[in-house]
Amino acid sequence: MTDPIRIGNASGFYGDRFAAVHEMLTGGPLDVLTGDYLAELTMLILGRDRMKNPERGYAKTFLRQMEDNLALAKEKRVKIVVNAGGLNPAGLAAALRELAQRLGVDTAIAHVEGDDLLPRAAELGFGSPLTANAYLGAFGIAECLRAGADVVVTGRVTDASLVAGPAAAHFGWQRTDLDALAGAVAAGHIIECGAQATGGNYAFFTEHEIGTPGFPIAEVHADGSSVITKHPGTGGMVTTGTVTAQLLYEITGARYAGPDVTTRFDALTLTEEGPDRVRVTGARGEPPPPELKVCLNTVGGFRNEVTFVLTGLDIERKAELVRAQLERGIAGNRPAEVRWRLARTDHADADTEQRASALLQCVVKDPDAQMTGRAFSGAAIELALASYPGFHVTAPPSDASPYGVYTAGFVAAGEVAHLAVLPDGSTVDIPHPGSTATLSEVADPPLPEPLTGGATRRVPLGTIAAARSGDKGGSANVGVWVRSEAAWRWLAHALTVEEFRRLLPETASLPVRRYLLPNLYALNFVVEDILGEGVSAQARFDPQAKALGEWLRARYVDIPEEIL
């Protein structure tokens, strides 16, 4: 096939807009509709589901969406490719067959498996996790589609494989078509988070009428280039800015490694070729690493929290009093970790009680549920009539709840089975790439010529710079970009690691790496350990670092007037 393949996305996470599947199927032409339901946190949630019922472990939302849309997809001849299988793709495929039979829809259903390494976790050196899943690539999906599947469900594949697999099947790409595969991976990375590519969570949102953004579409061509767009008449927008934002989301440097190809993000070029149409070209592919990444989730222990509301005068003294009282109250039964945080959200001479109040949070963690349960909650609430004036809390006392810990492991690709289970029930073993290359960082390109001196004005960095941030385990990334060469010449010199740490004091003692992407007028910062044990552990006020970039944009810096 030489015609481009039109691949839409209808889900960026487990819990995304339920109606998006129907909207995408009825909003305009598509060849394939994908859905990303998995994240590190989701795998933990599904792991707990599977503990309660071994027949579960998949995204039940997808089944409900297919109840309404399976016949519609078949009528419109749109293939469905999703990773909603989670920890049990075979179980989801079986449930879909039952659904199709009940609805009277003749649908060929296939699935991809082999990613679940839990039975071999100890043998592979991963200990005793709750979940252990290798990130598989695109070719199992491609095999299922070539065999005539209408619906393909997978477990833990890379998010971009949901796009690269259908493209590989459509164009007949082989393992050696690295540049084409790299282009499809870039397109998949752009649309994998749904409306984030069409104006959702966009730093320059005030310049646009966002409404309710439609979901994105990638028109992938035979050489791997693509056009990112959306259905006509839907909300939001597709611009080089929204596409840049998503390209920078949750990456590190110039090399973006996957199981099929390592994509050079420093080679990508974006061109706005019309309203809501951005062309992505220049992708360059290199052999993938010899190892596959493994998503490992364990139960870290139990946590609880209480948030005291401190209102009016003497905020610091009120915080000192209740902290000392609660510390004495739990001294004989103290959890392993007790963390306090005072958020000075109060304002002097406030015109509402809420604006006059600050929040003091105490979070406790321990391997033993009893150490963080009712004994802790009770010790906090017993102070209600014996502490600071105006005592109250934001929520009633609760029992301990388990929390998870995510870590990334790695395993030789040859240790992992990659199996395509075709609509007729037969199984095809998908070989891993024969050519691999150990991943290494690309040396930073030369800095651009700095701007010459001139008058500056002290304004928020976000006056000229956009940002997008996110989580990767215990680390976070902050992508920052500007929209002109002159602004890039200033940003590349001004926003050093030292300046980044100064602007975000929470990062001052943490390892921070900076990467340059001149093709996007962008810098990417990776902050290690800022999220502790990861999002499931809720170690930080913003546990997924989603607003870290917005905090950076709100900080004041001296910017040359010529680029303002």
pLDDT by residue, tens only, the chain of 564 residues: 789 999 999 999 999 999 999 999 999 999 999 999 998 889 988 998 998 998 899 999 999 999 999 999 999 999 999 999 999 999 999 999 999 999 999 999 999 999 999 999 999 999 999 999 999 999 999 999 999 999 999 999 999 999 999 999 999 999 999 999 999 999 999 999 999 999 999 999 999 999 999 999 999 999 999 999 999 999 999 999 999 999 999 999 999 999 999 999 999 999 999 999 999 999 999 999 999 999 999 988 999 999 999 999 999 999 999 999 999 999 998 999 999 999 999 999 999 999 999 999 999 999 999 999 989 999 999 999 999 999 999 998 889 988 888 899 999 999 999 999 999 999 999 999 999 999 999 999 999 999 988 899 999 999 999 999 999 888 999 999 999 999 999 999 999 999 999 999 999 999 999 999 999 999 999 999 998 876 666 667 888 999 999 999 999 999 999 999
Residue 474 tokens read as 């215990």
Q: Phi and psi of 328, rounded to 5°?
A: -65, -35
User: What is the C-alpha to C-alpha distance for residues 344 and 63, in angstroms, rounded to an integer?
Assistant: 45
324, amino acid identity? A
Dist. CA 501–CA 85, nearest whole Å: 41
Question: What 3-state DSSP class applies to 412?
Answer: strand
Closest CA to 92 of 68, 117, 61: 61
Return the exposure string of 335-347: e unless at least 16 CB atoms fall within 10 Å of the residue's CB, then b.
beebeeebeeebe
Model pTM score: 0.95
The helix (run of H) or strand (run of E) holding residue 523 is: strand 522-527
- Look-up of token digits 């979070």: 363
* CA separation for the pair 184, 218 (Å, rounded): 9
Report the interhelical angle of 374-381 vs 315-329 (nearest 10°). Answer: 140
CATH number of 300-405: 3.30.70.2750
Q: If we measure between CA atoms, which residue out of 476, 518, 467, 14 comes closest to residue 266? A: 518
Locate tokens 């199927």: which residue?
25
User: What's the token pair of residue 125?
Assistant: 């050196």
The Cα 132–Cα 217 span in angstroms is 31
Residue 57 CA to chain centroid, in angstroms? 20
* Alpha helix ranges (H) inside 150-198: 161-171, 178-191
For tokens 């001294």, name the residue: 331
Query: What phi, psi does 360 have (nearest 5°)?
Result: -115, 115
Cα end-to-end distance, the chain, whole Å: 48
> How is the chain split into domains, by residue range?
5-117+135-286+417-429, 300-405, 456-563
Q: Which residue bears the tokens 């017993």?
A: 382
The dihedral sign for the CA sequence 37, 162, 199, 186: positive
pLDDT, position 541: 82
Please give the helix or strand (H or E) that residue 321 lies within, else none: helix 315-329
CB count in 10 Å sphere of residue 543 = 16
What is the radius of gyration, based on Cα positions, of the chain?
Answer: 25
Beta strands in 235-382 (DSSP E): 255-257, 262-264, 269-274, 277-281, 284-286, 291-311, 337-343, 357-366
Are residues 208 and 186 in contact, defined by beta-carbon separation less than 8 angstroms?
no
> Helix (H, G, I), strand (E, B), or coil: what is residue 11?
coil
- What pLDDT does 452 receive? 87
Q: What is the rounded distance in angstroms from the CA atom of residue 230 to the CA atom of residue 250?
A: 23
For 412, the token pair is: 């030789």
Sign of the torsion formed by the C-alpha atoms of 45, 48, 53 and 55 = positive
**Residue with structure tokens 């619906």?**
151
The DSSP secondary-structure symbol of 124 reads T
The predicted structure's pLDDT at residue 507:
96
Question: Which string of b and e fits 33-46 if b means at least 16 CB within 10 Å?
Answer: bbbbbbbbbbbbbb
**pLDDT for the residue 539:** 65
Q: How far apart are CA 25 and CA 450, in angstroms?
A: 49
Q: 267: helix, coil or strand?
A: helix
Name the packing angle between helices 178-191 and 240-247 (round to 10°). Answer: 100
